[in-house]
Chains A and B, each alone.
Chain A
Amino acid sequence: MLHYLPFQLSSFAGDIDQVIRVIYYIVGTWFVAAEVILFWLIFGSRSKPGVRAAWLPGTGRAKWAVLAPVCAVLACDLIIEKASSPTWEYVKLDIPHPDVEVKIEARQFAWIFTYPGKDGILGTEDDLVAKELHVPVNKKVVFHLEAADVLHNFYVKDLRLKQDAVPGRSIKGWFDTNTEGTYEIACAEICGKGHTLMGSKLVVDSNEAYQSFLAAL
């Protein structure tokens, strides 16, 4: 299952994959152990002529047969949370100082990307508008995600990034990239009949190519 995880384009893609991997192995161990024990119990407890089932009400100290593994479950839960919350904070809470800022607007059924013009400020008259998202490689990109009509979700699998776009709100997020190339942007929140068509491209350019992309807008 895990080998299907896609290319790790962002610096946090590896962290998120690592979180998934850690949980996968912890719960996978539990799952396999529980299934083995279950089948052993089923096979071992099949009815045999002349053998009567045991009377085990599980009261008193016997109940620790259940509670002890449950304590182990609790410990695993806490380990998982401890191991994963820094990644959540890194991706969603600690938004870095931007190298590039871009406004992403989702609407039925297209993505519109707005770059600041010469003044370097979004929301002024010289803003530049593009149909595809170009970013320079190895730079931190901070986006302001907005929706014009209904809920959408900005999703790039290689970045391991999903974020809902909510009408009436501007949601701030970030990502970075490590490899030039073209990647697919998808909508991951049902938004109407064109939901299935609502794709776009994320193009990771070299610095020069990015400058000429901006110049051409």
Chain B
Amino acid sequence: MSHDAHPQSFISKYVFSTDHKTIAKQYMITGLFMALFGGAAASAIRTQLAAVEPGGTGGFLDPQFYNSVVTMHGTVMVFWVAMPVLVAGFGNLLIPLMVGAEDMAFPKLNMASYWVFLLSTVVLLISPLVPGGGAAGGWTSYPPLAADPALSGVEWGITLWILAVALELVAFLMGGINFITTAINMRAPGMSMWDLPLFVWEEVAASIVFMLSVGPLIAGAVMLLLDHVAGTHFFDPKMGGDPVLFQHLFWFFGHPEVYVILFPAFGIVAEIITCHARKTLFGYKMTVWSVIATSLLSFVVWAHHQFIAGIDPKISIPFSVMTILISVPVAVGMFAFMATLYKGSIRFTSAMLFALGFFACFLLGGVTGIINGTAAADIYIHDSYYVVAHFHYTLYPLVFMAGPAGLYHWFPKMFGRFMNETLGKVHFWGSMVFFNLIFLPQFNLGMMGHNRRLAVPTNYEFLSTPEALLMQDISTWALFGLLAFQLPFVWNFFHSMFRGAVAPANPWNATTLEWQCPSPPPHGNFDTPPVVYRGPYEYSPEGDGPDFIAQNQPPEGQHEVPQNPLVSPHAAK
């Protein structure tokens, strides 16, 4: 291929690269850097909550600054950590490799997507530094608070915040084009949609759900921006505007967004448990259909964030029913993964431990959601620490358990070297213990009635009880424990990049195509373009042969290439 003939300069190889693997690393490292920022915000929040004393004294953060830190923590963790690491990072790394392609369908567009994302990152990081401080209306930025500087005290911070979020959404729309086109149109000869690894299906679903849900929010974000800078009245109640309209636009995106993050994480976990349990995925097609059903349902549940927000109480019950029903397709996926473990042969690698830990924790996140999804219970639970605990029990395992699981698993493919397994296990057990210690007490705080986003909760007597203070203290100390146990990971990640044990092409004896090319794959990925003869998870097939058969391994006695519409309209002309 022609591009192999030219040696690439440092700039074109590592900076302005169109190679999907480099772009994946750029997304991941940007995401991990932003995780430090989000973690620092979390430390500030938790330290403040442990430092305040009964009577509303103590604490070291100004309430306005506290609100700003809370806003930044949520925004960063969802849009600048979960999205780049799970959706863009792993998606870019794995989709072309898993479908047997040389690169994404539109490599330059892919590069542009990252640079728009990086621009959005810079804008976001600048936003708290301008006069007036950063956005301080929560990550949802509901108007009128977010639209009017006279009410919020925030001038340019909110403008830059909206701009950053809008740019970030555009970057992911651009990225999504590549995910879809590559997955459906660049598959290797012989590879049908039903031969795609589940991860690719999950990324396709995530991209479609994202694209269909984000449009209204982009419109809403521009309207909010216009209200803020141009003086229009879209959400201004004094001129007939409706603040609740923004909530609808936000959550029409905001709830499907949960599944945009969930799908890639489920995909990562599916690849890891099949490989490290040496088992074929239980009910592959059923699981794919459950993903499709979840995608569809995710569009009709958004108002469960607004049960008591002033919407017509009559529509709450249908939304509540839909919300609860989404547990059905998600349960199909979870149970199928659990059934995959049955009669397996599990190797407890760091990747597998994180994948299993993900299940153990995400289960609690899932079941606790039933309480807030029920309209009657939400009257009390809404905007309480119970909700905080619930969504951290979903998002933390998705991002910080499935994410590291993927990193430990695919690190040899990305860098041609292993991460250290001992440090990986220290990272896992430490994170597992302290994560639970942070958020279990917050369920109790929620039941006591602790409402959210209070800089000084001890202004209230009911939040100054010894139990409440104890829960806050446990949660805070556990956070520092959790952060301490991320240090071995950070060291492991960067040290192993250069000094880790050298990894072969297929260190885990895996079946999917990304393991059938060199580690790390060169520009152009495959030495010979792969041809696919079988499904993605042929682990431990019946008989006495090897315990895995790669997707590109021909059946006994077959040598001819299967017919496949590998025809180009351009080549044909």
Contacts and interface: CB of A to CB of B under 8 A. Distances in A.
Contacts of A155: 451
A57 B335 contact: no
Contact of A87 (B283, B348, B367, B376): B376
A188 B383 contact: yes
Contacts of A100: none
B570 interface: no
Nearest to B286: A63
B62 to A, nearest CB: 8
Nearest to A157: B449
Contact of A63 (B283, B317, B368, B541): B283
Interface in B217-268: 237-238, 241-244
Interface in A12-49: 15-16, 19-20, 23-24, 26-28, 30-31, 34-35, 37-39, 41-42, 45-48
Nearest to B142: A151
A150 interface: yes
Q: Which of A23, A69, A193 has the most CB of B within 10 A?
A: A193
B151 interface: yes
A40 B364 CA distance: 17
A154 B454 CA distance: 15
Contacts of B279: 53-54, 56
A74 B328 contact: yes
B321 to A, nearest CB: 5
Contact of A199 (B282, B309, B459, B541): B459
Interface stretch (A136-144, A164-172, A207-215): A164-172
Contacts of B57: none
Contacts of A55: 280, 540-542
Nearest to A159: B380
A87 B375 CA distance: 9
Contact of B321 (A65, A81, A87, A157): A81
Contact of B345 (A26, A41, A53, A190): A53
Contacts of A92: 308, 313, 316, 375, 379
Given A19-B377, A151-B145, A35 B316 contact: no
Contacts of B152: 150, 192
A56 B62 CA distance: 58
A10 B335 CA distance: 41
A196 B459 contact: yes
Contacts of B381: 20
A4 B347 CA distance: 41
A102 interface: no
Interface residues of B, number: 101
Interface string A63-92: 101110110011001001100110111011
B376 A190 contact: no
A121 interface: no
Interface string A146-159: 00011101010100
A6 interface: yes
Contacts of B325: 74, 77
Contacts of B383: 153, 162, 188-189
Interface of chain B: mostly helix, strand, loop or mixed:
helix
Nearest to B335: A66
B59 to A, nearest CB: 10
Interface string B143-174: 01100100111000000000000000000000
Given A6-B448, A45-B277, A166-B237, A88 B346 contact: no
Contacts, number: 290
A19 B448 contact: no
Interface residues of A, number: 88
A96 to B, nearest CB: 15
Contacts of A216: none
A42 B341 contact: yes
A146 B489 CA distance: 51
Interface in A158-217: 160-169, 171, 184, 186-197, 199
A161 B379 contact: yes
Nearest to A197: B459
A66 B283 contact: yes
A92 B306 CA distance: 13
A53 B64 contact: no
A66 to B, nearest CB: 4
B452 interface: yes
B540 A58 contact: no
B573 to A, nearest CB: 43
A38 B447 contact: no
A97 interface: no
A27 B252 CA distance: 27
A194 B63 contact: yes
Contact of B346 (A42, A161, A186): A42
B412 interface: no
Given A168-B238, A186-B460, 15 more contacts: A27-B370, A34-B338, A42-B356, A46-B345, A47-B345, A52-B278, A59-B283, A84-B376, A160-B380, A187-B451, A188-B452, A192-B153, A196-B454, A196-B456, A197-B56
